Amino acid sequence: MGQPQQRAIQLTTTTSTRLRFYGINLGVPVFLALLVFVTFDLTNIDRQLSDMLFDSAAGVFPIGQIHLFETITHKWARIIPNLTGELAIIGAIMSFVWPLLERRRNSGLTQLAIRARLERPLQFARRHRLDFFFVTVAFSVSTGMIHYLKSHTSVYCPVETTLYGGTQAHVEWFRNFNLLHEAGAGRCWPGGHASSAFSLLALYFVARRYCWQHSNVLLAGILLLGMIYGTTRVLQGWHYMSHTFWAGIVVWLSSLLVALCFYGRAKLQRPVRKGSLSYGNDQPLVRPLKSSATLTRSAG
């Protein structure tokens, strides 16, 4: 086989691989967005579902009156995404500590860190600096997109509308969308609580970077968590069901964009590897570290 033919085959393979990646990761979410729009936004299904949960005689959503349910599913549930974001920020900051300590091996601070056995977590933070920054930026971008859409559509929550005893008019998001300016005081679309769980999708892209064999299980778990978060708010009358679907789609697309900027398509598309996580170049994710005694001798 001649060199021109080999190049042609390689180009065809690369193009096919690229199309497959974007078809799955971009094409499927866009298709789902169109499906949600046609199925929910252009019909009354959202309101029909909420009508089933609303007690018209009492004028309330019964589950929304259970304070323990609110505490567990709304307040306590925030701990998971909030803690993940905070750990990512801390990890990004700590990733700069060990390189500074290594430059001053004889300093008392370095020796203190070694004796306290902090070298392993600090070296871990250094090795995964890019990942910590990615998660931080992905959280920020997805949260920013959700807040932008909330303020530029001004959709009120079901319990705030006249349909369910409120004072505000029910308006579809696409009829109220304003690209450059805030559309009003409503802040209900897409679902914010669901998006906080979906923001964990950033962890899936980290897992894909390292070709983790259980990355799809992680993806399924995060999507399930997002659906649970969103559904609990639907039961309380604070969201329509479609708000959860839209939150997942927006967060996925935002996280995908950030992942492509940080890692590139090629690294995200590598096949999963059985066994431990790896960098894709046969180097283990958790590399052997020098012992404290070795570092102490080196420092001396």
The 10s digit of each residue's pLDDT in 66-79 is: 999 999 999 999 99
Q: What is the mean pLDDT of the chain?
A: 90
Same domain, 145 and 20: no
* pLDDT range class, residue 3, cuts 50, 70, 90: low
Q: What is the pLDDT of residue 4?
A: 63
Mean pLDDT value across residues 44-51 = 98
Q: What is the pLDDT of residue 289?
A: 40
Same domain, 34 and 160: no
Residue 22 counted as domain residue? yes
Query: Can you tell me the distance from the alpha carbon of 237 to that of 49, in angstroms, rounded to the nearest whole number?
Result: 10
Find tokens 């679907």 and name the residue: 245
Residue 92 counted as domain residue? no
Determine how many CB atoms are found less than 10 A away from the CB of residue 128: 19
Residue-number span of the structural domain to which 5 is assigned? 1-38
pTM beyond 0.95: the answer is no
Residue 77 counted as domain residue? no
Residue 18 counted as domain residue? yes
Mean pLDDT value across residues 201-223 = 97
Vertex 133 angle, CA 132 and 138, to 5° = 100
Query: Can you tell me the distance from the alpha carbon of 50 to that of 48, in angstroms, rounded to the nearest whole number?
Result: 5
* pLDDT range class, residue 16, cuts 50, 70, 90: confident
pLDDT at 1 over 60: no
* pLDDT range class, residue 11, cuts 50, 70, 90: low
Mapping DSSP onto H, E and C, the string for the chain reads: CCHHHHHHHHHHHHHHHHHHHHHHHHHHHHHHHHHHHHHHHCCCHHHHHHHHHCECCCCECHHHHCHHHHHHHHHHHHHHHHHHHHHHHHHHHHCCHHHHHHCCCCCHHHHHHHHCCCHHHHHHHHHCHHHHHHHHHHHHHHHHHHHHHHHHHCCCCHHHEHHHCCCECCCCHHHHCCCCCCCCCCCCCCCHHHHHHHCCHHHHHHHHHCCECCHHHHHHHHHHHHHHHHHHHHHCCCCCHHHHHHHHHHHHHHHHHHHHHHCCHHHHHCCCECCCCECCCCCECCCCCCCHHHHHHHHC
Residue 160 counted as domain residue? yes
pLDDT at 59 over 70: yes
Residue 23 counted as domain residue? yes
pLDDT at 300 over 50: no
Same domain, 25 and 135: no
Q: What is the pLDDT of residue 13?
A: 64
Residue 299 counted as domain residue? no
pLDDT at 298 over 60: no
Query: Can you tell me the distance from the alpha carbon of 161 to that of 85, in angstroms, rounded to the nearest whole number?
Result: 33
Per-residue pLDDT reduced to its tens digit, 163-196: 999 999 999 999 999 999 999 999 999 999 999 9
* pLDDT range class, residue 275, cuts 50, 70, 90: low
Q: What is the pLDDT of residue 151?
A: 98
| Intra-chain end-to-end CA distance of the chain, in Å | 60
Q: What is the pLDDT of residue 290?
A: 46
* pLDDT range class, residue 283, cuts 50, 70, 90: very low
Query: Can you tell me the distance from the alpha carbon of 252 to that of 257, in angstroms, rounded to the nearest whole number?
Result: 9
Per-residue pLDDT reduced to its tens digit, 85-136: 999 999 999 999 999 998 887 788 888 888 898 989 999 999 999 999 999 9
Q: Which amino acid is at 89?
A: I
Same domain, 1 and 133: no
> 288 with 127: CB under 8 angstroms?
no
> 131 with 263: CB under 8 angstroms?
no
pLDDT at 276 over 60: no
Residue 94 counted as domain residue? no
Lowest-confidence range among 59-73, 119-133, 257-271, 272-286?
272-286
Phi first, then psi, for residue 91 (nearest 5°) are -60, -40
- Domain count for the chain: 2
